[in-house]
Structure 1
């Protein structure tokens, strides 16, 4: 049997640059990674030799890349993604970035920041991604059954206050106004760069519980806006990823009403554009169940109207009329 040719690993220059930026020694980074892993219930025993191997191009297994990124992020005072440390598998990044409803707040921050960074750096790749109907419905189920996030407060990084939250809200309104005036094609790149360069740093900062909840709510709205603009510019696969992350951010904010809006308005509208009426009804029903008692009569009516639309497109007249009747009664 012929021996397989050896493939030379490429030095990880991204990781090297971040270690230098953080002012860490190899041994210091290893200690930080081990401590961070312990907080996640992992018994990691890396040392300076391990870091040297990573710098030579070795890829650690399992959850280690995410832990390394988190450890460096804490030292730098900002979110660092696994792509930024040169440990994102290209195939997995292509198929999965932004499509997961993370079970943890920390994972949600990592996921959405990775999406923003990938959007800025890989615009052609992401804009050409397709939409899977199951990837619309599965996050809605995760949202529906997930317990509330117990805590979102953070103690590491630059201090974030209500003035920062107000700035995000004001920027969102200004960007909405610009979109109405000039169209998404002109404005969407500005939205994505703002999310990637400014908002990611806020999420990685330190904030009290109330500020954190308000911050996640504000960022959820801006992320949903970026998704809407992706639809408007003919990028449904990218919009899907932004909507999923907006849903997760709304969960971190404790805002079930806005989560329902993302499902019944944003995601169901995308499903309608793609010709998936069954998913329209499923998303609308998830919104109704998950936001029950947490929304205004107008929002509740909109959720039922979205369900009616799905049934109508499937040709189910009776179900459409029933849902439409509930929409009228809710007003």
Structure 2
């Protein structure tokens, strides 16, 4: 088969003033940073330049490596390595791949029945009622807001037993939403590798379904996961790719605020504030929150905004924004409220133990850690416990140390 030379990649390699060997080494180094072992050399790069597309995740690593060298974000299209167009057989194999991924590890088996979801009114978008599978995805996302990863095995069972099997755009979209939602749940039960795989399935299914916003949402989730794992170069690349796919204003704001969070965390305050300003200009508070795939709750947007402000050194402004976010959080969202209380306590603790104490007590009132099964909350709580333990044990701070004793976090 005759291949078309990748002239875009050739131009970027020339712009970077790199040899083929240097690009190969940079891709191998980025993969090693992510915990993957790759062994590309100049011959591999020569194949890419002649038109061969390497397997994932290599195209993304190539874009990231050249983007770092050229000091600008590059997408897969920029480097001539976008995924090939959809086809019927490929779409069918994507469904099979998703079902294989949904087989849970035996050690994590839970006894939960597949849910019964009523779709008469919940999740409506305009005048069109959601499909049962769309409503199921939305149901489990809202369950995640409340209890973290509870229900992940139930959703796995639902996908394997009742998930769509045909390759129509509507069914592929349903499959993508279910894969994305299961990724949220397993990420919050400390299974990042499985979550990332599910989000890669989401991206491919959404591409075949012609849903760029859904691709953007999954790319943003992958960016957040990489950021949490300390893979900041990869996370920036994924967040920028998410921004390029986003079409709706809510999805654009959702991706841009992620870029702002990453930039702030790596101490690029100037770029972070520019991204934050852009996200604020795009964001519009939704009138209804039925569909989590087309709306972005204001409380969530404010929570991300506060992270940017805090990491840029604007602590008091961040505290005010977090308090506003907390007021908007529904009382039932235990997971999201817990994360907000933790962040407020962390910001208040250095200057006022008394001001932090109500948030510490609120965490106990939420029934932590028993009611929640959330790796994100557990990590946040451990960070907060370390901060409290760094406080001297004085009469004034004794209540803080009693709080740590009452929390009784499980061992990692």
TM-score in terms of structure 2 length: 0.38
Higher helix share: 1
Q: What is the TM-score normalised by the length of structure 1?
A: 0.45
